[in-house]
């Protein structure tokens, strides 16, 4: 029997961390759908055509090195505005979502477009300033030469692009549980997410 958990939210809100923890707690498979777009973006940076790259995507491509760089993140955000790319990746995501044993998918449009019938939907968010500080510290720890101002500008630009794109803009599903992580620890955010899912499973 399948059970789908859709987790959406803007960049650096913590949805990936929450999604991995929720998947581990329930023993579900996890898909970071942003990696799909990063894999396509990486191929575009290497000279490929976006829709062709999306149609040729295979699960193993998500294990490629270098998918977490700022350059690939920007490329991913750009290719995600292409309706042809999004259409090419829909089937991949929906098939994963209904796999036996349960699945957790995190991204930008899981609860609204990819899996509108998901049994549980969460929207993980945080202020732009909080998210930019988290991303700055992450990049600094990796040795990236970045400034707080530049990272904040990047976060705001990505939000604008993701929320205003014509196809599948970033927004909460009408029935999603909102989790604002601005003032939450990782453990607190994970507990809130697990509680929300358990409520939907009738376990509370």
Span 25-83, pLDDT tens digits? 999 999 999 899 999 999 999 999 999 999 999 888 988 989 988 899 889 989 988 99
pLDDT at residue number 204: 44
15 is in an annotated binding site: yes
33 is in an annotated binding site: no
| Fold of the domain built from segment(s) 4-201 | Rossmann fold (3.40.50)
Q: Of 1, 2, 5, which is closest to residue 107 (Cα–Cα)? A: 5
Contact assessment for residue 82 and residue 50, using Cβ atoms and an 8 Å cutoff:
yes
64 is in an annotated binding site: no
56 is in an annotated binding site: no
34 is in an annotated binding site: no
* Digitized pLDDT (tens) for each residue of the chain, 204 residues in all: 789 999 999 989 999 999 999 999 999 999 999 899 999 999 999 999 999 999 999 888 988 989 988 899 889 989 988 999 999 999 889 999 999 999 999 999 999 999 999 999 999 999 999 999 999 999 999 898 999 999 999 999 999 999 998 888 999 999 999 999 999 999 999 999 999 999 998 864
Exposure class string for 41-56: b at 16+ Cβ within 10 A, else e: bbbbbeeeebbebbee
Listed by start position, the domains of the chain span: 4-201
């Amino acid at each position: 029997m399948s059970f789908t958990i859709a987790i959406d939210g803007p960049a650096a809100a913590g949805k990936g961390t929450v999604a991995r923890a929720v998947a581990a707690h329930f023993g579900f498979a996890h898909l970071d759908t942003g990696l799909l777009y990063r894999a396509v973006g990486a191929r575009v940076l290497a000279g490929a055509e976006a829709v062709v790259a999306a149609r040729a995507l295979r699960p193993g491509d998500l294990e490629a090195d270098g998918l977490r760089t700022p350059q690939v993140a920007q490329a991913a955000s750009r290719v995600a505005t292409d309706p042809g790319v999004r259409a090419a990746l829909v089937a991949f995501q929906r098939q994963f979502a209904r796999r036996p044993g349960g699945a957790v998918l995190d991204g930008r449009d899981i609860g609204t477009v990819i899996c509108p019938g998901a049994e549980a939907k969460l929207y993980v968010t945080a202020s732009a300033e909080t998210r930019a500080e988290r991303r700055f510290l992450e990049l600094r720890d990796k040795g990236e030469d970045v400034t707080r101002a530049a990272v904040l500008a990047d976060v705001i630009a990505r939000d604008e692009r993701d929320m205003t794109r014509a196809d599948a803009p970033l927004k909460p599903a009408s029935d999603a549980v909102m989790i604002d992580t601005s003032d939450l620890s990782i453990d607190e955010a994970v507990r809130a997410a697990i509680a929300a899912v358990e409520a939907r499973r009738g376990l509370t």
